[in-house]
Amino acid sequence: MRILLGLWRLLVGGLWLAAVGALTLRGAEIDPERLAELQSVCVICGTRGTADAILNIVLFLPLGLVLGGGRRALVLALVAGATVAGGIELLQTLLPGRHPSPADVVFNAMGAALGTRIHALAARRVRTDAASGAGGTGWLWGGVVGACFLGAGVLLTPHPPDDDYWGQWMPDLGWMPQYEGVVVSAELNGRHMPWGRLDHEGPHRELLDGDWRLDGRIVVGPSPDAVSPILSIYDGHQREALLLGAHRDAIVFREWTIGKRLRFDAPDVRIPGAFGPLVPGDTTFIGASRRAATTCLRLGEVEWCGLGITPGRTWGFLLYLEGLDESIRELADLLWLLGLFLP
């Protein structure tokens, strides 16, 4: 039995190591803010640093789960986790766009150690449930899932940044392609929204705190292959307070939330096919608004209301891949929900 268990652990560990290598040992573009922080000393780096930290922990959980739940396994997990993570960081110096981070090694080792504790807790609960005939493990996992969804609701809460705001018409931001249409006019809350600093007597946060409305008249451009802002509002620290744009034939909306403030990733709200009936050169109206905590998007004479991030899309707080087709997103939603509820 011990031999079979050892072979099983070796097989699972090998598959895990191959998966980790495939995910981490490849070139990538790096967030300019994260690069600047990596060149200094930081723990939670970049605009999505919290999400990266959690992913680094989760990525090494299987190592701890395979090693077991004893004290010896805990020490071994810390050593093995730090060793593997350190090797990965060294290899990443050879890849374009990748930069080593000591913080990643720390979070990876923490993940491996946490895996051993989860193994020990699960084994203890199974033995207790078997002895008492109770189903406490299910209730425990149900509490974890409930906490995840409650936390997601908090992260989605709009939280406009406290700073001066600048309006932008089809900005060329560098990290997103510029929209190739034309913005004819734009209004925020019924007043002209210029390209530049917004004119408001009080704190600029008041413009987006509570009910607001953004409207634009545009000439439609070609469908962009990545999210392209048509109308956007940024603050003095280059934080994206609000974005209304296009991606392929979808209208896309993002805003600054508590989640973004806490450096999680930023899932967006989009309407696939919204631009489908239009062709480049058509003139139409585009807009977004919030009324009584309800978000609405408009394109032409069509309006969609009651929009938001569904429970299945909460995986996007950790790793939101904008380039995925909507069918792949929906499959990811289903797999995420199955992963949460099947245990």
* CATH code at position 223: 2.60.120
Residue 31 has pLDDT above 60, yes or no: no
Mean pLDDT across the stretch 50-62? 92
Nearest CA among 88, 27, 100 for reference residue 63? 88
Calpha distance 225→208 (Å, rounded): 29
The pLDDT-based confidence of 249 (bands split at 50, 70, 90) is very high
Please tell me the least confidently modeled range out of 5-9, 77-81, 98-102: 5-9
Q: What is the pTM of this model?
A: 0.82
pLDDT at 229: 97
Q: Are 34 and 47 in contact (CB under 8 A)?
A: yes
Mean pLDDT across the stretch 298-313? 91
Q: Are residues 181 and 120 in the same domain?
A: no
Render pLDDT for 163-188 as a digit per residue (tens, 0 to 9): 999 999 999 988 899 999 999 999 99
Tokens of 255: 């805003």
Calpha distance 115→137 (Å, rounded): 17
Residue 210 has pLDDT above 60, yes or no: yes
Q: Are 325 and 272 in contact (CB under 8 A)?
A: no
Place of tokens 């413009």: 207
Please tell me the least confidently modeled range out of 52-61, 245-254, 299-308, 328-337: 328-337
Q: Are residues 174 and 304 in the same domain?
A: yes
Mean pLDDT across the stretch 292-315? 91
pLDDT at 129: 62
Calpha distance 184→13 (Å, rounded): 58
Place of tokens 């909460």: 314
DSSP single-letter state for residue 68:
-
- Cα 207 to Cα 103, 139, 167, 300, 333: the distances in Å are 38, 44, 12, 24, 33
> Is 315 a domain residue?
no
pLDDT at 133: 55
Tokens of 340: 């949460």
What is the number of structural domains in the chain? Answer: 2
Please tell me the least confidently modeled range out of 77-86, 126-135, 170-179, 240-249: 126-135
Calpha distance 187→231 (Å, rounded): 10
Q: Are residues 33 and 119 in the same domain?
A: yes
Please tell me the least confidently modeled range out of 3-7, 117-121, 129-133, 161-165: 129-133
In the chain, % of residues over pLDDT 90: 49
Largest CA distance in the chain: 75
Which one of 113, 134, 155 terminates a domain?
Answer: 134
Q: Are residues 264 and 204 in the same domain?
A: yes
Q: Are residues 44 and 128 in the same domain?
A: yes
pLDDT at 92: 80
